[in-house]
Structure 1
Amino acid sequence: MDWLIGADRRDAGMERIYAAAAASAAAHGLDRLNIDEIAASVGCSRATVYRHVGGKQELRDGVLARAIARVGRQIADAVAGHAGPERIAVAVLSAVRVVRADPVASGLVRAGASVDFDSPRLARAAGELSGTADPLLAAWIVRVVLSLLCWPLPDEKAEELVVRRYVAAVAGLRDHQ
């Protein structure tokens, strides 16, 4: 640990690089990350970026992983203590709210970035966060969230009404079959 910065110098350098890359991704999109721009923003050389995080793909993957983890933690906090259809409603509504508020995550959706939204990992995460073991329901929840992000209703109240009336209700019916 470095006495001056109160952290490991390498870790602190990586975090500064990832923060600059996240800001760039939020402004220009994840697919347009530029190593030279990020190095200039942090005040280091291009070689330092490569040494600390690797190339453009590793930088992109790191920014994406951090955004996913950040969004996932916030949704997990929101659904804690909820179960059944209420948990599904809270998971969907908080996912929409959190993604909209996160500059990197919202940028991915806006840009239609090359993220595999059909990924089994994404459906598993949606299942865990919403409390469902049904993989088909989890995949549908991902699509509901993406639909609300790409084609929002007039306001949050309308979205909540639709999610509670149709998404949570259908999920609740499924549980009783």
Structure 2
Amino acid sequence: MSSIPETLPHRNGRIAPQVLHRALALLSRIPDSLIAFVARFSIAAVFWKSGQTKIEGLAIDLVSGEFRLGLPRLSDDALFLFREEYRLPLIPPEIAAPLAATAEHVFPLLLLVGLATRLSAAALLVMTLTIQLFVYPDAYPTHGTWAAVLLYLMAHGPGRISLDHWIAQRCSRR
């Protein structure tokens, strides 16, 4: 038995079931590769922008057009945040701050090009869970969205528009 109703209410009566089925069929044709690309780009931007707040000397923001090339270094503000606000258990702030800043730059770059996508998504999911559990427990709606995107990438991979796909194609030809 179909979960789609036979007809839907409409101002002149009812919409034909064929219209609903056509609309659903059209939506089901959205390519997974497009969804994966948008997911990779979006979640990479979230973590990249966060990483940019932790460093000085390098600024790259495609949306705002800000480009300042230089040797990146951990900002004093980042170390202060890890000491005073974030206060992660088990990891000293002097280790956690540069580790987070590095992860928020490396993994988003890998996601963006679609290289080691599942590993990068898993690493960012661990970071998301850490933030949720130890730093901002009230931010579960935001972190839940991030987790859903990262879980999708872990489960389905980066799609065709990725280096992972290109490498897999090259390896399968041998």
Normalising by structure 1, we get a TM-score of 0.28
Greater gyration radius: 2
- Larger strand proportion, structure 1 or 2? 2
- Larger helix proportion, structure 1 or 2? 1
